[in-house]
Structure 1
Amino acid sequence: MRFMPHWYILEKTSATGRFRIAPIVHWPLLKTCSDKEETPMNAEHSVTLKEVFLEAVTACSPRTLLPPLIESSRDCIRIAGHSLGNNPLHVFGSGKAAVSMANSLYTALGKRIAGGTLVSPEESPTLPPNLRHFTGDHPIPTERSYRAGQVMMQAMKSLLPSDRFVYLLSGGSSALMEIPAPPFSISDIAIATKLLFEAGLPIADTNMVRIHLSRLKGGGLSKQIRAKGIVLVMSDVLDSPLSVIGSAPLWPVKRNYNACVDLLRNNGLWPALPANIRSFLTKSPEEEPLSFAIPHEIVADNRTMLYAVRAALEDRKVPVRIVSDHLDGEAADVGHGIAGLALNVSESLKDGEKLALLFSGETTVTVKGNGTGGRCQELALAALAELQGNPAITLFTAGSDGRDGPTDAAGAVADHRIWIKSQEIGLFSEKFLAQNDSYHFFQSTGGLINTGPTGINLLDIVIALIQR
Structure 2
Amino acid sequence: MTNREKMMAVFRDALGSALPGNLIRDTLRYEAGVLTIEGKSYSLGDYRGVHLYGSGKASVETARAVKAVLGDRLTDGLVVSNYGAAVDGVTVFESSHPVLTEKSIRAAEILMQKISALSADDFFIYVMSGGSSALIEKPAPPITLAEMQELVKGLLANGVPIEDLNVVRKHLSLVKGGRLGRLSKARGIVLVVSDVIGDDLEAIGSAPMFFDRSSFADTHAILKKYGLWDRAPENVCSIVRKGLDGEMEETPKGPSPLIDHFLIGSNLKILEKAKERAETLGIPARIMSSRLRGEAGEVAKAIMAIGEEIATTGQPFAPPVLLLFGGETTVTLKGEGMGGRNQEMALAALREFRGNPRFLFLSAGTDGIDGHSDAAGALVDHASWEKA
TM-score, L = length of structure 1 = 0.77
1:116 pairs with one of 73, 77, 80: 77
Contact 1:397 1:411 in 2 (8 A): yes
Q: Deviations over 1:336-372 (max 9, x none)?
A: 11112212212246xx962111111111112233333
Q: How does 1:67-466 map to 2 (within 5 A)?
A: 67-80=25-38, 81-86=40-45, 87=47, 89-122=50-83, 124-127=84-87, 129-254=88-213, 256-284=215-243, 285-288=247-250, 290=252, 293=256, 294-348=259-313, 354-422=320-388
Alpha-carbon offset, residue 112 of structure 1: 1.3
- 2 CA distance for matches of 1:70 and 1:396? 33
Decide whether the 8 Å contact of 1:95 with 1:176 is kept in 2.
yes
AA in 1 matched with 2:30: S
> What SS does the corresponding residue of 1:57 show, helix, strand or coil?
helix
Cα 1:289–1:319 change in 2 (3 A) is closer
State whether residues 167 and 218 of structure 2, in contact with CA within 8 Å, keep that contact through their aligned partners in structure 1.
no
Give the partner amino acid of 2:302.
G
Tell me if the contact between 2:331 and 2:341 (Cα under 8 Å) persists in the aligned partners.
yes
User: Counterparts of 1:193 and 1:288 in 2: how far apart (Å)?
Assistant: 20
Q: Which amino acid in 1 is paired with 2:242?
A: K
Please give the alpha-carbon distance, in whole angstroms, between the structure 1 residues aligned to 2:320 and 2:214.
50
Q: In 2, distance between residues paired with 1:254 and 1:397? A: 33
Distance 2:284 2:213 in 1: 46
Q: Secondary structure at the match of 1:219?
A: coil
How many angstroms apart in 2 are the aligned matches of 1:292 and 1:333?
A: 37
Deviates more, 1:45-54 or 1:133-142: 45-54
Larger radius of gyration: 1
| Greater RCO structure (CA 8 Å; 6+ sep) | 1
Contact 1:217/1:249 (CA < 8 Å) preserved in 2? yes
CA distance in 1, matches of 2:44, 2:68: 19
Distance 2:150 2:138 in 1: 15
Q: CA deviation at 1:289?
A: 7.4
**Structure 1 spans left out of the alignment, 5+ residues:** 1-40, 423-468
More deviation, 142-151/74-83 = 74-83
RMSD: 1.9
* 1:419–1:289 distance in 2 versus 1, CA, 3 Å: closer
Higher deviation after alignment, 363-372 or 188-197? 363-372
Partner residue, 2:10:
52
Paired residue total: 377
Aligned CA distance change for structure 1 residues 98 and 259 (closer, same or farther; 3 Å)? same
Which residue of structure 2 aligns with residue 20 of structure 1? none
CA contact (8 A) 2:212 2:251 kept: no
Q: Residues of 2 paired with 1:354 and 1:388: CA distance?
A: 19
CA distance in 2, matches of 1:147, 1:289: 22
Unaligned residue ranges in structure 2 (runs of 5+)? none
The amino acid that maps onto 2:55 is S
Identity of counterpart residues, as a percentage? 38
Question: Match of 1:427?
Answer: none
The separation in 2 between residues aligned to 1:85 and 1:126, in whole angstroms, is 25
Q: Partner of 1:283: helix, strand, or coil?
A: helix
Are the aligned partners of 2:310 and 2:319 in contact in 1 as well (CA < 8 Å)?
A: no
Instruction: Give the whole-Å Cα distance in 1 for the aligned partners of 2:293 and 2:120.
Output: 42
Amino acid of the residue matched to residue 112 of structure 1? R
Deviation at 1:257, TM superposition (A): 1.7
- 8 Å contact from structure 2 (residues 178, 251) kept in 1: no
Is the contact made by 1:84 and 1:164 (CA closer than 8 Å) also made in structure 2? no
How far apart, in 1, do the equivalents of 2:33 and 2:222 lie? 51
* Partner Cα distance (1:85, 1:110) in 2: 13
Any conservation in 1 of the 2:216–2:250 contact (CA below 8 Å)? no
Structure 1 Cα separation of the partners of residues 112 and 33 of structure 2: 30
